[in-house]
Chain A
Amino acid sequence: MSLKLTNVRKAFREPGGGTLPVLNIDQFLLAQGEQVALVGQSGGGKTTLLNVISGITAADSGSVLIDGIEITRLSEPARDRFRAERIGIVFQTFNLLPAFTALENVLLGMSFSGKADRAFAKSLLDQVGLSHRLNHRPPQMSVGEQQRVAVARALGNKPRLMLADEPTANVDPANQDKVLTLLRQGCQNLNISLLLVTHSTEAASQFARVDRLADFNKPGAAA
């Protein structure tokens, strides 16, 4: 999976009537199977960037090319389908559904791509060390375990691109390395490109390539 952003602009309307530019990226590249840590301050546009890449939020202008497919030209249902089939997302706050068990959370993510495979879901949970927690619901698990379930869920649809938004920010220090390692190894094993945004230099230090968002995102210049 290769990712190429070109001249991507995104601004939000403010309550007062003005606009708040958030993204102004001339170019950003991510090669097939590459793992990149993108470091930026809070409010620097990291989450918006991931939302634009995943198609959750439409860019105001520019090109988002994933594996040769221009995301910005896809209809919303097509973007949903693209996201379900080719993109995995790990959220900062895990975003597991509290009524579903660990196994069901993983299966739910897979079901939107039409690839709900119970055996594969179990093997993923086994890989993240939660084979004994299959039928536990999120409130019955520790935060570290919850984030590991989130990693398994993100890998469930065998995506081509993994987007991780501060995945260790809410995890205790003892589990941060574990989560990062699982995420990186999982992506490596399945040849998934990984784009991880974080404000933690410690988390970023595990990556061979570390980019600073402020170096290529100049929202002020667009305004």
Chain B
Amino acid sequence: MNATAVTSDGLEAVTTDAGQRPPNAFASIAGRALPTVLLYIASICAALGLCAILVSSTGGSATQVFSALLDGSLRSAGAWGLTISTATPLLVVAVGTIVGAKAGMDNIGQEGQLLLGAGAAAFVATRLDLPGPLLLLASFLAAAAIGGLWAGLAAVMKFTRKVPEVISTLLLIFIASQVVTFSLTKKWLLRSLDSTSRTNNGEPLPQSARLPGIEIFGNVVTWGAVVALVMTLLVGIVLARTTIGFKLRVLGLNPRTARRFGVSAIGIGGGALIFSGAAAGLAGGLWLTGGSAGDRFTGGISSNIGWQGLLVALLARQKVSLAVTMAFVFAGLRTGSQFVAATGVDRRITDVIQAMLVLSLLIPPAIQSLQGRRRRSGVAA
């Protein structure tokens, strides 16, 4: 938690620096801050209120559910460590997505890229004989490579045949899921070598292919979290401070101007799309080896992490610093959901809460820009 907060601040500084706020803007921001905050609070309360009504009306206790969520994500022993470990793949997916979105590439196939990434990592980890750290490294490389390849297919289709990447990445999710189901039926691919196991699961990962944890105050945090934070920091710096980050932003903001100044949509844009896929793949590798998802690969391992990572990125509105916070909140809802089942309410209420939260966070900025527009254009508000 501490580590997250510190890095978050650091990145905020980077992005603020890069932003084009004039020095005197602080006063005007402070002036507007109060209604903004109120708007957010009202909106979030409305969303949670609706969820509470939903729970109560189906015979559950809303207070119990919310209390269970807090227990599961923060309060119970070891909970926040678990939450940070769960936030790790969400953050990695989100950061990759942000890079793609900055370049104007709408990758929405992270769920499939992540699943394949986890599968590739499992294949390398269970089939190759390499010494400890090298095995992990090779698994991660394989995970990133296949995620990048999957997004690369969408890039090729976009630039050669104008297939919109929104559709192609979407359809590739379902193909990925069938590919993984298929490979779980073949022992030469991912299926467990132990033929007594009836369900199609992968081989248990060898000890050397499991990411160690860091113990902090009785909480175990995966090393993957460090990888994720370093990656977030690097991406933040590259986007804000380097020529390649600059070209990427120009491409996303105005592709025709970018082309005129020699920014290659295929090179930079395709690269950003592939990077976002590779990040999702890597997230799959981190999730698999991190231990929170069990000790072996299964067909359901992605369990919406790709989708949720995408939502984190969308909500962070292309700011890597905000993505850190959002990933933690989303992870909290995931880990909290384990405790909800004990209250007798179906744990999928957390998916509802998550989506409602996203919608509620979309409303205040929309209302504000609407008001701003009305003021400017003079349409009676």
* A and B co-occur in one complex: no
Residues of A within 8 A of B (CB): none
Residues of B within 8 A of A (CB): none
